[in-house]
Amino acid sequence: MTLLSLTGIESGPWITLLDGELPSEGDSIAVPIARLLEEGVSAFATAGALGAAVPTGTSFAELEEVVRSLTFVAIEFSAFGDGRGFSLAVRLRKDMGFKGEIRAVGPVMPDQAQFLLRSGFDSVEITDESRVGAFRVSLERFNEFYQTDYMGARSIAHARHGISQ
């Protein structure tokens, strides 16, 4: 498995907690969101860095309850076609002002790299290492976009009229 940074921000691995498992003190841990909501953030106070493992079907309202205590979020795609993950990342950035790392986990395709980046993801967990090259190529593919991205960066429509914000 390879961790690919989309934004250039380097980050380390973390441990995804299994059911019933408790973190060792100081570990970076991703807790399944259901467990985090059930046990509360304080149950994991000993963690070095606390993150949430969030299936794409999670509603943003649930995420909003705990987001302030998180340093990272792993959005777990069930399939590459499950576009809810993109909206979740956008929500985290736009609505909740989340500044921590957002990582895509699961069967995303190299060809989705720029969509991930532009929706607010920082990194991708790539299971098939032979695909890292394709991810990198895809990430550099387009350099101008018709839409503003999640941070409101200028779009082609603005560039046409010399508007930068």
Partner 1 sequence: MYAYDKFDRSLVDIRVAEFRDQVERRVKGDLTEEEFRPIRLMNGLYLQLHAYMLRVAVPYGTMSGDQMRRLAHIARKYDKGYGHFTTRQNIQFNWPKLSETPDILAELADVEMHAIQTSGNCIRNVTSDQFAGATADEIADPRPYAELLRQWSSFHPEFSFLPRKFKFAITGADQDRAAVKWHDIGLIVRKNDAGEIGFEVIVGGGMGRTPVIGKTIREFLPEKDFLSYQEAILRVYNEQGRRDNKYKARIKILVEAMGAEEFARQVEVEWEKIKDSHIDVPQEEVARIQAFFQPPELANQDATSAVTSEFAKKNFIFASWLQNNTNAHKVQGYVNITISLKPHGGIPGDASAEQMDLVAALSDEYSQSEIRVSHEQNLILPHVALKDLPAIWADLDEAGLGTANVGLLTDMIVCPGLDYCALANARSIPIAQAITKRFDDMKRLQDIGPIKVKMSGCINACGHHHAGHIGILGVDRKGQEMYQLLLGGSGAEDATKAAILGPGFDEHGIVDALEKVVAVYLGVREDGEEFLSTYRRIGAQVFKEAVYDAA
Binding site for partner 1 (CB under 8 A): 59-60, 80-84, 86-88, 90, 94-95, 109, 111-112, 114-119, 130-131, 134, 137, 141-142, 144-149, 152, 154-161, 163, 165
For residue 87, the minimal CB distance to partner 1 (Å) is 5
φ/ψ (deg, to 5) at 104: -90, 125
For residue 37, the minimal CB distance to partner 1 (Å) is 18
For residue 30, the minimal CB distance to partner 1 (Å) is 22
Which residue, 37 or 94, has its beta carbon nearer to partner 1? 94
Q: Which amino acid is at 144?
A: E
Q: Where are the beta strands (DSSP E) in the chain?
A: 2-5, 15-16, 28-32, 49-55, 72-76, 101-105, 123-126
For residue 110, the minimal CB distance to partner 1 (Å) is 9
Strands 72-76 and 28-32: unpaired
Encoding tokens for residue 138?
A: 């895809």
Give the CA distances from residue 111 to residues 3, 36, 38, 49, 53, in Å, rounded to whole numbers and listed in that order.
Answer: 16, 32, 36, 31, 23
**Using an 8 Å Cβ cutoff, are 14 and 30 in contact?**
yes
Which residue, 35 or 91, has its beta carbon nearer to partner 1? 91
Which residue, 18 or 161, has its beta carbon nearer to partner 1? 161
Which residue, 1 or 61, has its beta carbon nearer to partner 1? 61
Which residue, 5 or 155, has its beta carbon nearer to partner 1? 155
For residue 62, the minimal CB distance to partner 1 (Å) is 12
